[in-house]
Amino acid sequence: MILVFDVGNTETTIGLFQGTELLDHWRIATRHEQTVDELGLLVRSLVRESGFDLSEISATVIASVVPPLTPRLVEMSDRHLGVPADVVDARSKLPIRLDVEEPLSVGADRIANTIAVAAIFGADTIAVDLGTATTFDCITGDGVFLGGVIAPGIQSGAEMLVRKTAKLPRVDLSPPAGIIGRRTETALQSGIFHSAVAAIDGIVHRIKAEWDRPDILVVATGGLAGLVAPHCRTVDRVEPFLTLYGLEIAHRHIHGGPRTIRRAPNRSPRPARGR
């Protein structure tokens, strides 16, 4: 088994793989000040409480957009799990190409999405990743990252709106009953949710027009994909853990294992658990 870590600015998603199968997954808050020992205790607890044997973990794979946490996760892997760690970033020797002006600035999560798209779908794809930021990755079927769009994330944008206004309350991000809100809370909820949906559809339409590919595959991933993407007209499928699968595929490539997946992953066998 291997553990993969997708470290974002707000949340870290952890996946446990046996071969190409995602056995379990956890979503935890990213704490920039977290120590090696705190990380080790948390990871060991998550794995044990889910009924898995820590001794069966053979490696970890890390994609991080939080530089201070990367070496701590590597050290945690060595000290608390006793296994080596692979760090996936723009310098990794992977069967993809970063066809952009500054390839070393491409985030590790976008690199993982690129290798996942090439291995799983093998088709030109827009990967819409809904996390702290909402990113649109333009990826060819043979693994070329062409660039994309980085937009404010849905939750971060909503929190900024509430912080900058004196009377607007915090609201849950959920699909409202209708467009027209009849009180402040429902009006705000409608505006946040439908603005996100409209922004995704609008940006995807513009990418398709510029790329001149009206039939291109659009895949939504990330923590909010299951909530928002079903309301988007342009999204073809939802793969919440595309990045995790990309990290598992990267691990197999780095260590000489089979590098393709014949069947694309479905939704995870269990709902994500907050911690």
Residue 236: which CATH number? 3.30.420.40
Decide if 258 is inside a domain.
no
**Angular region, 234: left φ>0, alpha ψ -120 to 50, beta rest:** alpha
Around Cβ 68, how many Cβ atoms within 10 Å? 10
Judge whether residue 162 has pLDDT over 80.
no
- 194 vs 232: CA distance, rounded Å: 9
Give the pLDDT band of residue 182 (cuts 50, 70, 90).
confident
Cα-Cα-Cα-Cα torsion 180, 182, 185, 188, nearest 10 degrees, comes to: 30
Q: How many helices (H) and strands (E) does the chain have?
A: 7, 11
Decide if 113 is inside a domain.
no
Instruction: Compute the average pLDDT of residues 100-118.
Output: 95
Instruction: Compute the average pLDDT of residues 197-208.
Output: 95
Decide if 142 is inside a domain.
yes
Which domain covers residue 187, as residue numbers?
A: 121-240
- 194 vs 175: CA distance, rounded Å: 8
Decide if 46 is inside a domain.
no
Of 182 and 192, the structure prediction assigns the larger pLDDT to 192
DSSP-assigned letter for residue 80: I
Predicted TM-score of the model (pTM)? 0.86
Q: Which of 6, 89, 109, 129 is catalytic?
A: 109
**Angular region, 35: left φ>0, alpha ψ -120 to 50, beta rest:** beta
- 131 vs 224: CA distance, rounded Å: 7
| DSSP alpha helix (H) spans, the chain | 36-49, 69-76, 108-120, 154-163, 184-211, 225-228, 242-254
Instruction: Compute the average pLDDT of residues 170-190.
Output: 76
- What's the confidence (pLDDT) of residue 211? 94
Residues, the chain = 275
Strand pairing category for 133-139 and 144-152: antiparallel
Q: Per the structure, how many domains does the chain have?
A: 1
Judge whether residue 269 has pLDDT over 50.
no
Helix 69-76 crosses helix 36-49 at what angle (to 10 degrees)? 60
Instruction: Compute the average pLDDT of residues 148-174.
Output: 68
Decide if 144 is inside a domain.
yes
- Has 109 been annotated as catalytic? yes
Decide if 167 is inside a domain.
yes
Judge whether residue 23 has pLDDT over 90.
yes
Decide if 256 is inside a domain.
no
What is the tens place of the pLDDT at every residue in 116-150?
999 999 999 999 999 888 999 999 999 999 999 99
Residue 130 tokens read as: 């809904």
Give the pLDDT band of residue 265 (cuts 50, 70, 90).
very low
Judge whether residue 263 has pLDDT over 50.
no
- What's the confidence (pLDDT) of residue 271? 35
What is the tens place of the pLDDT at every residue in 52-92?
999 999 999 999 999 999 999 999 999 999 999 999 999 99
Judge whether residue 273 has pLDDT over 80.
no
Cβ pair 104, 47 in contact under 8 A: no
SS3 97: strand
Judge whether residue 231 has pLDDT over 50.
yes
Instruction: Give me the chain's average pLDDT, please.
Output: 87
Instruction: Compute the average pLDDT of residues 22-30.
Output: 94
Decide if 136 is inside a domain.
yes
